[in-house]
Structure 1
Amino acid sequence: MSKVHWAKQAESGSYLGIRTLLWFYRFGGKWLLQVVLVPVLLYFVCINQRARQASRQFLQRVHATAAEHSSFRSEPGLWQIFLHFYSFAYEALAKIDGWLGRIGPERLNTIGNITFDDIVRQQKGGVLIGSHLGNVELSRAMASRKYSTRIHVLVFTRHAVAFNKALQQTNHMVETNMVQVDTITPALAIQMREWIDNNEFIVIVGDRMSVSTPEQAIWCDFLGHPAPFAIGPWVLASVLECPVYLLFCLRQGDHYALTLQHFSDQIVLPRKQRQQALQQYVSAYAAVLQGFALLYPYQWFNFFDFWHLPEAGKDK
């Protein structure tokens, strides 16, 4: 499988195409859009070989790791790959519903060892480390309606320009507090420290390699194979000297489970044991991510070869 960096993969679908699908949704409702999506997704499954292979690889490794507890009766094939793509499209629609206010708080179940109410009451900013498992954007949309506390999201949006443009047209608040980054500059680091000092929160994903330095990775076991994880979120959290929480928003039927886990009061990276400390933190994150991936395999939205280091030239 090609080792193209995830950020260099072209976005699937033009702005016009996405707006057309939203038109179907607006005037025909969810049922009509779901019907229209079937041929569209079949087309993408057929032409996007890289994403199709990545889906197959991930689903098969979930099946092998879960063994007798697997949610699949047999080794996943084309039908399961299609359902994987369909789940991705469904959650893209849920993002729009979230910003339009169509998903109410009654459909959100909060679980985990801490709630957002708890961390807001602490009056201390922090870092929320998410992933591309589930729908973190939906949780941000719902939180923006309930809390006045600012939540800043560090994103790399160039690979999804069309969808983000369409999403922003549904609600101007989408772009508020979104910070597009390629690298963490000193100026941005100072700005983020001010956010934390003002009891605000920063969201960053921990399952995507750095855009500028993909070779800076920590290798951890993930679904039975070594996988590279970025060090950036953990280094950033150590510099900000603030509490760290893990964030997941996962669909359960017609509802969503918002999971917040207190991860650490502070990420500490001693100079002499920096690598060992990073290994410990990242391994703990990878273990939690794997646990949820086994439970919700169709909500894994990394459609690239997750187990290879992009542009490294050598498989681990």
Structure 2
Amino acid sequence: MKHWAATEERGSYLGILIVLRAYKYGGHVLMRLVLAPVIFYFFLTGGNARRASLDYLRRLHNFSGDASPFASVPTWRDSLRHFWQFGLASLEKTDAWIGRIRKQHVQNCGNTHFRDLEQRPEGGVLIGSHLGNLEVARAIASSSYSKRMNVLVFTEHAQAFNRALRELNPNVTVDVIQVTNIDMGLAIMLRERVDQGEFVVIVGDRTSVTDPSQSVHHHFLGKPAQFAIGPWVLASILECPVYFLFCLRNSTGAGYDLHLDFVTAQLQLPRRSRQQHIDAILSQYIAKLETLCRHYPYQWFNFFDFWQQQETAATTEGSVGNAD
């Protein structure tokens, strides 16, 4: 089965630019009119993504039991709603970067505030996911606070979106570092930036683009799935505070819940017990993911078979490889 990075990106710079210009000149009403047929087309023609969506929704329902966010077993209608929420998330990214989402639209639900990070001399690592909308969180942070956010991305699609945003608004500041591999050179550069008080943002719910075998299996929603060890090894190398970061649209649809949680002052991974330490921190991360999935079920935006067993994986359940 394909690794997530081998799945063709369904979009292009030109397509993204057209949609963003429609937003600029027509606002939310025109944008939703443009989005509706596009999302419906992707839903009808994207068989793999559609099946992955329904698989996730049903896993969440079964795993949650009496606490399930669904009244009955999810159907294709729930999957279509899942696709539509993904389309709205793209609109929210644009809202965030051109300044239409402000601090007053965001409610802090974690144990830490961005202003707390602003007052501390050291930087840190913020580990997020494809649950919710990290773009909103990082845009709010960039527009309201002086601490620089260095965002690591692993797809050309993200770069195309940011390029289109700059054409829409040249004043947009996006500190994106596109990478294919977290090597020692990148780690040294990031260490320098963290030492200067900056932050590194990386997602923890995707396996390595270049070597998916560098992962660990951990139960998520009731079945083993692969999670990259790269973010955790990078955090240990940087020797700085680690936080979880999630930003999700609230139940009213009019604002966002920001879950920024301090995890540890320094993640240490001793060689002899590295597997146990990674498993411990990953358990915290996955527990947070599962809780938030129950509260925001349609905001999980991994449209591929997340529980697939990669053909190239050299790991067994609970094993840990080298850093990506």
| TM-score > 0.5 by shorter chain | yes
Q: Please state if 1:76 is matched with 2:86.
A: no
Contact 2:212 2:313 in 1 (8 A): no
Shifted more, 189-198 versus 19-28: the winner is: 19-28
The match for 1:5 is 3
- CA–CA distance in structure 2, aligned partners of residues 40 and 192 of structure 1: 38
Q: Given the alignment of the two structures, is residue 222 of structure 1 paired with residue 220 of structure 2, yes or no? A: yes
Instruction: Go from structure 1 to structure 2 and tell me whether the alpha carbon gap of 1:304 and 1:175 turns closer, same or farther (over 3 Å shift).
Output: farther
What are the Cα deviations for residues 170-221 of structure 1, in whole angstroms up to 9, with x where unaligned?
3346563211111122221111111111111101100010111211111111
How many residues align? The count is 314
Aligned counterpart, 1:46: 44
Aligned: 1:236 with 2:234: yes
Instruction: State the one-letter code of the partner of 1:215.
Output: S
SS of 1:308's equivalent in the other structure is coil
Counterpart among 67, 88, 104 of residue 86 in structure 2? 88
Per the alignment, residue 177 of structure 2 pairs with: 179
Structure 1 residue 114 displacement after superposition: 1.1
Which amino acid in structure 2 is aligned with residue 275 of structure 1?
Q
SS at match of 2:28: helix
Matched, 1:259 2:264: no
Find the aligned partners of 1:278 and 1:209 in 2 and give their Cα distance. Answer: 15
Which residue is 2:106 aligned to? 108
- Where does residue 321 of structure 2 map in the other structure? none
Return the letter of the residue paired with 1:245: Y
Mapped contact 1:242–1:265 kept (Cα < 8 A): yes
> Distance between the aligned counterparts of 1:155 and 1:174, measured in 2?
17
Q: Which residue of 2 aligns with 1:311?
A: 311
Match of 2:151 among 146, 153, 161: 153
Q: Distance in 2 between matches of 1:173 and 1:20?
A: 19
User: 1:39 deviation in Å?
Assistant: 1.9
Distance 1:13 1:184 in 2: 26
Give the letter for the 1:157 counterpart.
Answer: T
Distance 2:81 2:176 in 1: 30
Q: Give yes or no for contact 1:8–1:159 (8 Å, CA) kept in 2.
A: no
In structure 2, C-alpha distance between the alignment counterparts of 1:283 and 1:173, rounded to whole Å? 40
Q: Name which of structure 1's ranges 6-15 and 241-250 shifts more when overlaid on structure 2.
A: 6-15
| Cα distance in 2 for residues equivalent to 1:49 and 1:70 | 25
List per-residue Cα deviations over 1:24-59 (Å, max 9, x = no partner). 323332123213322221111111111111101101
Aligned partners of 1:135 and 1:248 also within 8 Å:
yes
Distance 1:292 1:201 in 2: 23
* Distance of 1:254 and 1:200 partners within structure 2: 30
Partner of 1:166: 164
| Residue aligning to 1:289 | 289
Give 1:21-32 correspondences, 5 Å limit: 21-32=19-30
CA shift, 1:127, in A, is 0.4
58-67 vs 14-23, greater mean Cα deviation: 14-23
| Contact residue 227 and residue 307 of structure 1 kept, 8 A | yes
The separation in 2 between residues aligned to 1:180 and 1:173, in whole angstroms, is 20
* Alpha-carbon distance between aligned partners in 2 of 1:109 and 1:250, rounded to the nearest angstrom: 10
Contact 2:150 2:201 in 1 (8 A): yes
Does the residue aligned with 1:184 lie in a helix, a strand or coil?
A: coil
Tell me, yes or no, if the aligned pair for 1:50 and 1:304 is still in contact at 8 Å: yes
Change (3 A) 1:219 1:74: same
Q: Equivalents in 2 of 1:240, 1:124: separation in Å?
A: 11
Distance 2:148 2:162 in 1: 20
In the superposition, relative to structure 1, how do residues 270 and 313 fare at CA in structure 2: closer, same or farther (>3 Å)? closer
Could you tell me how far apart the structure 2 residues matched to 1:194 and 1:63 are? 44
| Structure 1: 5+ residue stretches without partners | none
- Say whether the 8 Å CA contact 1:99–1:170 is kept in structure 2: no
3-state SS of the aligned residue for 1:226? strand
Report the Cα offset of residue 11 of structure 1: 1.5
SS at match of 1:259: strand
* 2:40 alignment partner AA: L
Change (3 A) 1:99 1:29: same
| 1-structure distance, mates of 2:171, 2:214 | 34
Normalised to the residue count of structure 1, the TM-score between the two structures is 0.94
What's the CA shift for 1:294? 1.4
Unaligned runs of 5+ in 2: 318-324
Tell me how far apart the structure 2 counterparts of residues 266 and 31 of structure 1 sit (CA, whole Å). 46
